[in-house]
């Protein structure tokens, strides 16, 4: 049976299309308006809300909670102080990524982990004799992501302390008299916040935010607009840009933290006091330079893209909805394989096609030219693309206090 989120009764009233997908057994809006681009520009130019309630949520508590997470998470949890959140990943013994998520530290011995896929059994199996408990509270809370340049202006009248909340900071608060936890986090690469609220308080909290957002043209957005924003932000999505090592059929479907561009989460890996799952394999891969792939951004010049299509009497396809398949990349016109784009779209902001791509390491240097496969009139062609650093979009407002 498909469930509905705590916010669904109100947000469904705003859904003009009735288009929904399934996310972890819940209905999840694909699009509220008839144009996902309108919702996207709501994120980039004003503010918009996304129902992230289907995220799995796990309390990790006990005297050994930090010790437990130190041995499990690839990012150093010791650097995450109470009142802070931390994006992190966890790997298998071979350094292949199992999943990613956000860890919220409420107290020295109390954490809450959110993830896109179920991890309860895996987490509990790792506890062993430690003084720690892992509790699934996925259905107990709703999560509302308020994103965009006006998001702070919307929340501040309701929660004044939000004005002083730093990037990946978090605070307990009340909205409309109901307890919430607000964090300066999100999946759009823009200024934004996430509000975690007990399920029974979801509607009055949402109503208060919607009312405060009226002068700022606040609107809901669905998965399609989120997909556009997160690609511009260079944020990988599980089951799209990578798959969990746990469910892979072979090593071609597994990827290390280095290969997925998660190397920044491994800072301090040389510190022998950090002993986490996969560390030895990741150190060996780095020291022996054995990574099979590098994750990069690719950018296609609109002039080249148009010229290729017009040469064959075809109208250039400029659709902002990300394609839902992997697009092959080649080193040159001789069709030598270079890798593949895992997410590809026409960016409304950049006015060109961009993508997240996996290429052979020798092609990862910014400025390198690769060739993107295109099918025109049932024939294969390629268009040149430039390797660029990620993210594509990284505004100062995302992290600034002003």
Please choose, from the candidates 378, 372, 304, 289, the residue with its C-alpha nearest in 3D space to the C-alpha of residue 337: 372
Q: Greatest CA span in the chain, whole angstroms?
A: 68
- Note the residue count of the chain: 402
164 is a domain residue: yes
Number of domains in the chain: 2
Q: Give the integer Cα–Cα distance in Å for 381 and 375.
A: 6
The answer to whether the beta carbons of residues 51 and 5 sit under 8 Å apart is yes
Domain extent at residue 354 = 294-388
- 145 and 26 within one domain: yes
Q: Give the integer Cα–Cα distance in Å for 58 and 104.
A: 10
Q: What is the DSSP string of 168-185?
A: TBEEEEEETTEEEEEES-
Please choose, from the candidates 109, 186, 83, 140, the residue with its C-alpha nearest in 3D space to the C-alpha of residue 399: 186
- 30 and 161 within one domain: yes
Q: How far is CA 210 from the centre of its chain?
A: 24
The pLDDT of residue 83 is: 98
Q: What is the pLDDT of residues 300-326, one digit of tens each?
A: 999 999 999 999 999 998 989 999 899
Please choose, from the candidates 246, 272, 236, the residue with its C-alpha nearest in 3D space to the C-alpha of residue 93: 246
Q: How many CB atoms lie within 10 A of CB 280?
A: 13
113 is a domain residue: no
The pLDDT of residue 324 is: 84
- 48 and 155 within one domain: yes
Residue 254: CB partners within 8 Å, gap ≥ 6? 94, 96, 97, 243, 245, 248
Bridge partners, 90 (sequence order): 73, 99
384 is a domain residue: yes
Q: What is the CATH number of the domain that holds 355?
A: 2.40.30.110
Q: Is the pTM of this model over 0.85?
A: yes
How is the beta sheet containing 178-183 ordered, strand by strand?
A: 170-175, 178-183, 192-198, 141-147, 48-51, 219-220
- 153 and 35 within one domain: yes
- 147 and 51 within one domain: yes
Q: What is the DSSP string of 173-221?
A: EEETTEEEEEES--SSSSSEEEEEEEGGGHHHHHHHHHHHHGGGT-EE-
The pLDDT of residue 317 is: 86
Q: Give the integer Cα–Cα distance in Å for 361 and 255.
A: 14
Q: Which of 180, 199, 221 is the last residue of a domain?
A: 221
- 146 and 21 within one domain: yes
The answer to whether the beta carbons of residues 382 and 333 sit under 8 Å apart is yes
- 338 and 217 within one domain: no
- 170 and 306 within one domain: no
- 333 and 192 within one domain: no
Per run of 10 residues, the mean pLDDT along the chain (length 402 residues) is: 95 98 97 96 98 98 98 97 98 98 98 97 96 98 98 98 97 98 98 98 98 98 98 97 96 97 97 96 98 98 96 92 93 90 96 98 98 95 97 97 84
Q: What is the CATH number of the domain that holds 143?
A: 3.30.1360.120
Residue 38: CB partners within 8 Å, gap ≥ 6? 219
- 143 and 52 within one domain: yes
Q: Which of 185, 200, 221 is the last residue of a domain?
A: 221
- 351 and 216 within one domain: no
- 35 and 175 within one domain: yes
26 is a domain residue: yes
126 is a domain residue: no
30 is a domain residue: yes
The pLDDT of residue 334 is: 78
The pLDDT of residue 319 is: 87
184 is a domain residue: yes
Q: Which of 196, 221, 246 is the last residue of a domain?
A: 221
Q: Give the integer Cα–Cα distance in Å for 51 and 7.
A: 7
CA distances from 46 to 12, 70, 222 (A): 21, 39, 16
* Three state DSSP letters for 321-379: CCCCCCEEEECCCCCCEEEEEEEEEEECCCCEEEEEEEECHHHCCCCCEEEEEEEECCE
How is the beta sheet containing 133-136 ordered, strand by strand?
A: 84-91, 97-107, 110-115, 56-61, 133-136
Q: Give the integer Cα–Cα distance in Å for 274 and 293.
A: 25
372 is a domain residue: yes
Residue 156: CB partners within 8 Å, gap ≥ 6? 162, 163
The pLDDT of residue 79 is: 97
Tell me whether strands 110-115 and 56-61 are parallel, antiparallel or unpaired: antiparallel
Q: Give the integer Cα–Cα distance in Å for 112 and 95.
A: 24
């Amino acid at each position: 049976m498909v469930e509905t989120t705590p916010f669904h009764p109100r947000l469904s009233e705003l859904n003009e299309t009735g288009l929904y997908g399934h996310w972890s057994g819940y209905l999840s809006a694909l699009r509220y308006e008839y144009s996902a681009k309108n919702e996207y520009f709501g994120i980039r130019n004003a503010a918009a809300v996304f129902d992230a309630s289907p995220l799995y949520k796990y309390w990790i508590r006990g005297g050994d909670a930090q010790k437990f997470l130190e041995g499990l998470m690839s990012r150093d949890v010791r650097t995450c102080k109470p009142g802070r959140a931390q994006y992190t990943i966890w790997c298998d013994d071979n350094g292949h990524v199992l999943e990613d998520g956000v860890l919220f530290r409420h107290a020295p011995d109390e954490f809450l982990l959110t993830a896109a896929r179920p991890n309860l059994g895996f987490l509990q199996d790792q506890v062993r004799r430690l003084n720690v408990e892992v509790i699934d509270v996925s259905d107990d809370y709703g999560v509302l992501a308020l994103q965009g340049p006006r998001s702070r202006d919307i929340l501040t009248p309701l929660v004044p302390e939000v004005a002083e909340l730093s990037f990946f900071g978090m605070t307990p608060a009340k909205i409309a008299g109901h307890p919430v936890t607000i964090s300066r986090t999100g999946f759009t690469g823009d200024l934004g916040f996430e509000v975690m609220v007990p399920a029974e308080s979801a509607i009055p909290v949402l109503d208060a935010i919607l009312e405060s957002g009226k002068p700022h043209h606040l609107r809901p957005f669905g998965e399609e607009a989120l997909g556009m924003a997160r690609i511009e932000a260079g944020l990988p999505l599980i089951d799209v840009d990578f798959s969990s090592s746990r469910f892979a059929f072979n090593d071609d479907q597994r990827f290390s933290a280095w290969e997925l561009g998660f190397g920044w989460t491994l800072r301090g890996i040389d510190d022998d006091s950090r002993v986490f799952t996969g560390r030895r394999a990741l150190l060996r891969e780095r020291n022996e330079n054995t990574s099979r792939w590098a994750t990069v951004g690719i950018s296609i010049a609109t002039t080249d893209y148009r010229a290729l299509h017009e040469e064959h009497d075809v109208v250039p396809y400029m659709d902002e909805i990300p394609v839902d398949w992997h697009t092959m990349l080649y080193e040159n016109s001789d069709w030598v394989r270079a890798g593949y784009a895992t997410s590809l779209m026409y960016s409304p902001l950049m006015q060109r096609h961009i993508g997240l791509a996996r290429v052979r390491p020798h092609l990862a240097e910014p400025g390198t030219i690769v060739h993107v496969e295109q099918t025109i009139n049932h024939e294969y062609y390629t268009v040149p693309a430039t390797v660029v650093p990620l993210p594509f979009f990284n505004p100062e407002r995302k992290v600034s206090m002003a």
